[in-house]
Amino acid sequence: MSERFRVYLSYILICTIWGSTWLAIKIGLETMTPLISAGLRFLVASTLLFALIVIRGVKIPWNHGERWFYLVVSLTSFSIPFALVYWGEQYIPSGLTSIIFAIYPFTVALFSFLFLPDEKITVWKISGIVLGFIGVFTIFSNNLTASNPRALWGMGAVLASAILQGYSVIVIKRHGHSIHPFVITFVPMLIGATILLSASMFFEDLSGIRFTPHALLAILYLGVFGSVVTFVSYFWLLKRVDAVFLSLTAFITPIIAVILGVLVLGEQLSPRIFLGAAFVLGGIAVANFAELNKYLKLYSHSGK
């Protein structure tokens, strides 16, 4: 299997799985608190990752600089961002959550411009990001209202999560190139699980928690597939593709979520959804115009 094929396969896998996690999070929150749900998710994931690290014989670098790296990644990628997302999803619709989180590629582009001089922010990339955002907005344009009085705080929490995770990508891109993706995922995720579960003891009412079969399945799914498979793949890809290109997964996952809504919940597709999907896919093509053009020229040349 060529590396190029593995890149495409990993990208598709991330989009598909993360497109389903919004629904799984909602299911878990029906009988569990946000910090417990997120903490148990990462505890399951870090346990599995530790087993994989031992089996594969992967070394865990542990000098002073790397310990600080793990802590920063944990705070900006796992503990604080996921606490914010889980908390915010209690008060706003999942469609509105998707739109707000779609600010993520903009934050990655901004931080790339500031901290990654080797990654050029072109007009094509910015145009593609704008088109993708318009597409996500179009898909969920009828799902923008929230009746809960805490909705504004929920929206702010999701927005803050997107900004933190955008910054985290840049930190990993700059400082994590020599660390195995298993390790980049395992250590910060274990720290995140510890922080989230500890915080739940102080800030949440745990008396009403019920470990129903649906809640347990949601935690297992989010831990194994929504965390281990996706984050390992994401950090592996981050060593091989532009951060901005990888961040565009935030535009594709809402489309997957809509498709799952049709298949699982029997929801109806509307022309608005097809139009939004066209904007998203067009935006991704525009953002990667230079790369696609290069491949087309190579293909044309080889054809001669």
CA–CA gap between residue 156 and residue 159 (Å, rounded)? 5
- Percent above pLDDT 90 for the chain: 54
Query: Half-sphere exposure (CA, 13 Å, Cβ side) for 270?
Result: 8
Query: Is 127 within 8 Å of 286 (Cβ atoms)?
Result: yes
Which of 17-31, 134-148, 187-201, 281-295 tops mean pLDDT? Answer: 187-201
The overall average pLDDT reported for the chain is 87
- Check pLDDT > 70 for residue 265: no
Query: Is 162 within 8 Å of 253 (Cβ atoms)?
Result: no
In this structure, of 36-50, 223-237, 256-270, the range with the lowest mean pLDDT score is 256-270
Tell me which H or E stretch contains 163: helix 151-175
CA–CA gap between residue 118 and residue 239 (Å, rounded)? 13
CA–CA gap between residue 132 and residue 222 (Å, rounded)? 26
- Check pLDDT > 50 for residue 300: no
The tens digit of pLDDT for each residue in 29-63 reads 889 999 999 999 999 999 999 999 999 999 999 99
Of 58, 54, 43, nearest to 191 by C-alpha is: 43
Which of 85-89, 172-176, 183-187, 272-276 tops mean pLDDT? Answer: 183-187
More confident residue, 242 or 51: 51
- Check pLDDT > 80 for residue 176: yes
pLDDT-derived band at 225 (thresholds 50, 70, 90) equals very high
pLDDT-derived band at 293 (thresholds 50, 70, 90) equals low
The tens digit of pLDDT for each residue in 197-224 reads 999 999 999 888 999 999 999 999 999 9
DSSP for residue 240: T
- Joined together, the tokens standing for residue 53 give 């690290």
pLDDT-derived band at 302 (thresholds 50, 70, 90) equals very low
More confident residue, 17 or 290: 17
- Check pLDDT > 60 for residue 303: no
Q: What is the pLDDT of residue 117?
A: 82
More confident residue, 286 or 229: 229
CA–CA gap between residue 236 and residue 225 (Å, rounded)? 15
Of 19, 40, 79, 52, nearest to 217 by C-alpha is: 40
Helix (H/G/I), strand (E/B), else coil: 233: helix
Residue at token pair 């992967």: 58
Q: What number of residues does the chain have? A: 304
CA-CA distances (angstroms) from residue 291 to 171, 285, 298? 24, 9, 11
CB atoms under 10 Å from CB of 264, counted, come to 10
- Check pLDDT > 70 for residue 296: no
CA-CA distances (angstroms) from residue 78 to 85, 208, 299? 10, 25, 41
pLDDT-derived band at 179 (thresholds 50, 70, 90) equals very high
Q: What is the pLDDT of residue 285?
A: 84
